[in-house]
Amino acid sequence: MDGISLEIPSGSFFALLGPSGCGKTTTLRMIGGFEQPDEGAIVLGGRDVVGLPPHKRDVNTVFQSYALFPHLTVYENVAFGLRRQGIESAELRRRAGETMELVDVGALGKRKPRQLSGGQQQRVALARALVNRPRVLLLDEPLGALDLKLRKQLQLELKRVQHEVGITFVHVTHDQEEAMTMADTIAVMHRGRVEQLGEPAELYERPSTEFVAGFLGVSNLLRGAVSGPDRVRIDSGDELNVALGGRTGAVAVGIRPEKLRLGPPREGENTLSGTVKETAYVGVATQYVVSTGAGELVVYAQNTDGSRPLAPGSVALLSWSAESTFVVDPQLPDAEEAA
């Protein structure tokens, strides 16, 4: 880790997002007490917990591997933490039952983990972590082992559960769509640092670095240089209107694929001409790869009744508004960045 500093609001759903090796799991393990930081503080509810072992922190963790006790029933797995605390029988049954109902495994109490599907096992693991009502619940890629349809279903379920219990969730994932679906706030991490912190819409619409623009969704990045007030001349020689926010010199101009339109521009819009290189039908839209003098751009065009897709080799005119354009500093080569 490289001197990261985060403040996670109590009761929020917070995501640490980034590629493998960026430091997100290390950060989670430090919060949970499985790793100790070399310096700095980790404050939970006003208390610095650095140096405390995991069992003395008011934190529970849900892992990708479920980590259920195979010899115990679903009910006994969920009730395990309460028994260790010495909770009396009536209270134990009430809390375990309520938590199992919360995650929709109330009817599975007598089954063993081997009799459950992967999604059911993950629900039981979530119930076991929630039953003690920790201050913070840590989720270490908990949906990574599930198939796509079930993963999407449980994303919404986790968000619902978090809203109902009001516990702070800190979720580690490399899946950008998962983070944007579930989290109130996302920290995009890269090389042990937080590249950008913000709400999903803010990160998507206005990324602050080229890495964030490329990692969070698909971005078309056009390199160029500032040529005047809110004007950029890109490498093809075309000039674009874009809010520069005081930037000068070399920049990268970004446009999301769904913001591009095939066809003539409206007043004040930016344009680029090119040739359709590839097309792919993806249901609600057709994806185009358009070759231009500034490089290849990806375009998502909505499929409407009677619309006919452009064939490869067709001439294409791309247009988009200046408001749909963002600008970031161009990413340095690895060697130069390290220096």
Query: 167 with 250, same domain?
Result: no
183 contacts: CB under 8 Å, gap ≥ 6: 13, 14, 15, 171, 200
According to the model, what pLDDT value does residue 142 have? 85
Domain endpoint, select from 205, 239, 268: 205
Considering the domain architecture, whether residues 296 and 320 belong to the same structural domain is answered as yes
What pLDDT digit, counting tens, does each position of 267-283 carry?
A: 989 999 999 999 998 88
Cα of first residue to Cα of last residue in the chain, in angstroms, is 18
Pick the residue with more confidence: 328 or 306? 328
| Residue 252 counted as domain residue | yes
Do both 189 and 162 map to the same domain?
A: yes
Among 170, 205, 240, the domain boundary falls at: 205
The pLDDT value recorded for residue 332 is 62
Who contacts 235 (Cβ-Cβ below 8 Å, separation ≥6)? 222, 223, 224, 293, 294, 295
Looking up tokens 């602050």 gives 208
What's the total number of domains in the chain?
2
pLDDT tens for 233-245 read 999 999 999 999 8
The pLDDT tens digits of the residues spanning 174-185 come to 999 999 999 999
Any residues with CB less than 8 A from the CB of 150 and at least 6 apart, and which? 118, 119
Q: How do 136-140 and 168-173 pair as beta strands? A: parallel
Task: Identify whether residues 147 and 228 lie together within a single domain.
Answer: no
Give the helix ranges, DSSP H, for the chain: 24-32, 74-84, 89-102, 118-130, 148-165, 176-182, 200-205, 210-215, 334-338
Residue 308 has a pLDDT of 78
The mean pLDDT of 253-263, rounded to a whole number, is: 94
pTM for the model: 0.88
Q: Domain of residue 191: give its range.
A: 13-205
Task: Tell me the pLDDT tens digit for each residue of 91-112.
Answer: 999 999 999 999 999 999 999 9
- The answer to the question of residue 8 being in a domain is no
> Is residue 212 domain-resident?
no
The CATH number assigned to the domain holding 244 equals: 2.40.50.140
Please indicate, yes or no, whether residues 43 and 139 belong to a single structural domain of this protein. Answer: yes
Q: Report the pLDDT value the prediction gives residue 335, as an integer from 0 to 100.
A: 39
Taking 50 as the threshold, does the pLDDT of residue 339 lie above it? no
Do 124 and 99 contact (CB within 8 A), yes or no?
Answer: no
Q: For the domain that residue 57 is a member of, what is the CATH number?
A: 3.40.50.300
The strands making up 270-281's β-sheet, listed across from edge to edge, are 261-262, 315-320, 270-281, 285-292, 295-302
Is there a contact between 117 and 151 (Cβ–Cβ < 8 Å)? no
